[in-house]
Amino acid sequence: MPIYEFKCQECGEEFEKFVISASQVGQVKCPKCGSEKVVKKISACAIGGSDSGSSSACTSFG
């Protein structure tokens, strides 16, 4: 089941989100502050970052 963990870069909120397709990942918003600046906590960045337009998602949590 495609449930991804996200972390908000604005307020630091960590949450899980059911995501059907990769395109939806770019539409995920923080449930706490509503920011769209969220990053996936799983290492899916190697797959491609198709629509995020930012490579920071791969390096922001090391």
By the criterion CB under 5 A, which residues form the site for Zn ion?
A: 8, 10-11, 13, 30, 32-33, 35
Q: Can you read off the two tokens belonging to residue 41?
A: 């906590």
| Closer residue to Zn ion (CB): 38 or 49 | 38
> How far is it, in rounded angstroms, from Cα 60 to Cα 62?
6
| Closer residue to Zn ion (CB): 33 or 42 | 33
Smallest gap from Cβ 11 to Zn ion, in A, equals 3
| Closer residue to Zn ion (CB): 13 or 52 | 13
> How far is it, in rounded angstroms, from Cα 39 to Cα 24?
13
